[in-house]
Amino acid sequence: MFGYSMEEVGNIVVMQGFSGLSLFSVLLLMALGLAIIFGQMGVINMAHGEFMAVGAYTTVFLSKIAVSYDIVNSYFVFAIVAAFILAFFIGYFIEFLLIRHLYKRPLDTLLATWGLSLVMQQIFRSTFGAKEVSAELPEWLLGSFKPTEDIDIPINGVFVMGLALIVTVGVYLFMYRSRWGLRVRATMQNRVMAGAVGINTKKVDRLTFALGCGIAGVAGAAFTTIASTGPTTGSLYIVDSFMVVVFGGAASLMGTIASAFGIAQAQSILQFFMTSSMGKVATLMTIVIILMMRPEGLFASKVRK
């Protein structure tokens, strides 16, 4: 087939399938936090990428400490937890200062959070310098896993996949199987009623926003294994994140998962057969056209508002 042996083609199909899955988990991690903030709360958080950067810089910072104490092999798990906690509290604080005043004006949250993203970028630049930095990664995250001689499965990809799975399950359990999730969903569906039955809606808002930011932090920490960390790193992810959430149908967790999967496979396959940048254009174009025909996204929310 095209001058390649069946075995070669088979190997490539396996690895290509894996890279599609790996892109899927990257997109999913990016979008999950946003799916909560934008999908559930309706807040257009343009600083979402910067919350990822918070997570990434936390990891980089802890890796420096880990190097000096010679615990590089074990710090990474703590770094992810720390990234979550830090991004969570920054999100909590930001909600209190900024977002809660803007719930009635969703388009204005876009502008305010864009401003926030500029401020955060400059904070990163002033603290960590304009240059890109990289986290010292533990040995077990480097290299590839080889089921056969010719197939390489990147370990960092597997790691991101595992993390995406854990976070997704966590979000699912939180949103649909816990009392907190029940309160969140009740508040988002009908704030007044939720308030009337005794839910502290303000507290719910704050925690929901903070949770979304925390997940962004985890995503950022995970991405230090596959990409760079710089003051403007966050802006690389923002459009992709929004596309995934919007394409999936904003208010649906299933939709986000399905849309991340669809976009990842499309992009991965198109980029294999076209040049990388044209593959990206074709993917975005397809999404936009589908969205024009089906504006509510793949999975429309069945709730009447």
Partner 1 sequence: MSNSDRRQFMKKTTALVAVSLALGLPIGINSAVAADFPTATVNTTGLAVDDTTVKVGILHSATGTMAISETGSIQAEKLAIAQINEMGGVLGRKIEVIQEDGASDWPTFAEKSKKLLENDKVATVFGCWTSASRKAALPVFEKDNGLLFYPTFYEGLEQSKNVFYTGQEATQQILAGLDWIAKEKKAKTFYLIGSDYIWPRTSMKIARKHIEQHLGGTVVGEEYIALGDTQFGSVINKIKLKKPDVIYAAVVGGSNVAWFKQLNAAGLNAKKQNMLTISVTEDEVLGIGGENLEGFYSAMKYFQSLKNPNNEKFVADFKKAYGDNAVIGDVTQAAYLGPWLWKAAVERAGSFDVDKAVVALPGYELTTAPEGYVKVDPNHHLHSKLRIGQWRKDGQADVVYESDLIAPDPFPKGYQ
Partner 2 sequence: MKVLSEKLFGGKQGAIGLAILSLLLFVVFPLWLDLFRLGLIGKYVTYAFVAISLVLLWGNGGILSLGQGMFFGLGGYCMAMFLKLEASDPISTKIQTTPGIPDFMDWNQLTALPWFWEPFKSLTLTILLVLIVPTLLAFIIGFAMFKRRVGGVYFAIITQAIALILSILIVGQQGYTGGVNGITDLKTMLGWDIRTDSAKYILYFANAGLLIACMLLARYILTSKFGMLLLAMRDKEERVRFSGYDVSNFKIFIFCIAAMISAIGGAMFTLQIGFMSPSFVGIVPSIEMVIFAAVGGRMSLIGAVYGTLLVNFGKTMFSETYPELWLFLMGGLFIAVVMFFPDGLAGVYEKYATKFNLTGKLSKLMIKFNKSASVTDELVGEKP
Site residues (vs partner 2, CB under 8 A):
42, 44, 46, 98, 101-102, 105-108, 110-112, 114-122, 125-126, 235, 239, 242-243, 246, 277-278, 280-281, 284-285, 287-288, 291-293, 295
* Bridge partners, 153 (sequence order): 145
Q: Which residue of 81, 110, 199, 226 would you call a contact of partner 1, by CB under 8 A?
A: 226
Residues in the chain: 305
- Decide if residue 117 touches partner 1 (CB under 8 A): no
Calculate the alpha carbon distances from 146 to 92, 142, 143 in Å: 43, 13, 10
Cβ proximity to partner 2, 72 vs 110, nearer residue: 110
Binding mask 175-214 for partner 1 (x = CB under 8 A): ----------------------------------------
Nearest to 225 by CA among 85, 120, 76, 125: 76
Q: How many of the other CB atoms lie within 10 Å of CB of 235?
A: 17
Tokens of 60: 């980089």
Q: List all residues 6 or more positions away from 117 whose beta carbon is below 8 Å from its beta carbon.
A: 46, 47, 49, 50, 234, 235
Helix H, strand E, coil C: the string for 106-162 is: HHHHHHHHHHHHHHHHHHHHHHHCCCCECCCCCHHHCCEECCCCCCCEEHHHHHHHH
* Residue 79 or 246 with smaller CB distance to partner 2: 246
CB of 223 to partner 1, least distance (A): 8
Q: Which of 268, 191, 275 is CA-nearest to residue 21?
A: 268
CB of 78 vs partner 2, minimal distance in Å: 31
Please pick, from the candidates 15, 123, 199, 290, the single residue that binds partner 1 as defined by CB under 8 A. 15
Cβ at position 163, least distance to partner 1 in Å: 15
Smallest gap from residue 274 Cβ to partner 1 (A): 10
If one asks whether residue 8 binds partner 1 (CB under 8 A), the answer comes out as: yes
| Shortest Cβ 230–partner 2 spacing (Å) | 14
| Under rule CB under 8 A, residue 157 binds partner 1 | yes
